[in-house]
């Protein structure tokens, strides 16, 4: 999955006017790229152009939500050089890697499908992940700590798997975290716990905010 990072990082370049933190933009761009893998079909044209447009539009939308940013959403139209079949060396290299790793992309798409199904049982939609992810690094670390506690203690894990809920009072008492905080980030904590328990190596290594769950 690391092979895709240069292409994704390139899409963030020039988006500083959105006033979003770089790590937040990168994580959002990665989530959008994963969604593109899931949603792409040949009818949507060139895969890289499709991803490029989706990523930039998603970042603009987030900028509008966070900072009241106003700008036109980029229309999905191939550039003249793309129409003529002329792309930069960097894009050509990434494009070749994407096609060469088509089987790996299919495997990742299957991971996304399986994770989406798992999250659905808890009332969590894949599309919610960018929204429910805490903005502050400290909050993300606390959520990871809570998720680890759920997975490592059999009683907590059993309650999550069987009753589809977190033992919030017990977790608050054990970890010294307020029950309100656990409730506020409940969906994100559950998502991390599922990632910890399940077989999702591609997603965990691909998303910076989930790498810590390895």
Using one digit for the tens of pLDDT, what is the confidence trace for 143-175? 989 999 999 999 999 999 999 999 999 999 999
Mean pLDDT across 112-124? 90
- The count of structural domains within the chain is 2
For residues 106-132, one letter each, b for 16 or more C-beta atoms within 10 angstroms of the residue's C-beta and e for the rest, the string is eebbebbeebeebbeebebebeebbeb
Per-residue pLDDT band for 92 (boundaries 50, 70, 90) equals low
* Domain contains 121: no
Containing structural domain, residue 135: 126-213
- Asked, for residue 120, whether it belongs to a domain, the answer is no
Tokens read off for 157:
């894990």
Last residue of a domain, one of 56, 83, 100: 100
Are 82 and 164 in a shared domain? Answer: no
* 146 and 78 both lie in a single domain: no
- pTM (predicted TM-score): 0.58
Task: Give the whole-number percent of the chain exceeding pLDDT 70.
Answer: 74
Residues 95 and 130 in one domain: no
Name the domain boundary from 100, 134, 168: 100
Same domain (yes/no): 6, 91:
yes
Average pLDDT of the residues in 28-35: 82
Q: Is residue 106 part of a domain?
A: no
Average pLDDT over residues 109-124: 88
- Is residue 30 one of the residues assigned to a domain? yes
Residue 89 is predicted with a pLDDT of 59
Model confidence at 36, in pLDDT bands (50, 70, 90)?
confident
In degrees and rounded to multiples of 5, residue 101 shows phi and psi of -100, 30
């Amino acid at each position: 999955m690391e092979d895709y990072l240069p292409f994704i990082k390139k899409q963030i370049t020039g988006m500083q006017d959105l006033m979003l933190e770089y790590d937040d933009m990168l994580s959002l761009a990665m989530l959008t790229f994963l969604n593109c893998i899931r949603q792409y079909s040949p009818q949507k044209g060139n895969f890289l152009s499709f991803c490029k447009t989706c990523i930039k539009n998603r970042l603009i939308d987030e900028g509008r939500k966070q900072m009241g940013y106003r700008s036109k959403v980029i229309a999905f139209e191939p550039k003249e050089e793309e129409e003529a079949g002329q792309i930069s060396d960097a894009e050509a290299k990434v494009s070749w890697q994407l096609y060469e790793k088509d089987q790996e992309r299919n495997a990742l798409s299957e991971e996304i499908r399986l994770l989406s199904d798992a999250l659905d049982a808890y009332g969590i939609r894949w599309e919610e992940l960018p929204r429910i992810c805490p903005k502050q690094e400290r909050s993300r670390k606390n959520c990871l700590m809570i998720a680890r506690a759920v997975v490592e203690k059999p009683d907590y894990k059993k309650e999550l798997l069987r009753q589809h809920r977190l033992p919030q009072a017990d977790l608050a008492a054990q970890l010294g975290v307020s029950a309100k905080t656990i409730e506020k980030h409940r969906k994100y904590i559950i998502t991390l716990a599922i990632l910890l328990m399940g077989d999702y190596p591609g997603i965990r290594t691909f998303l910076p905010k989930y790498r810590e769950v390895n």
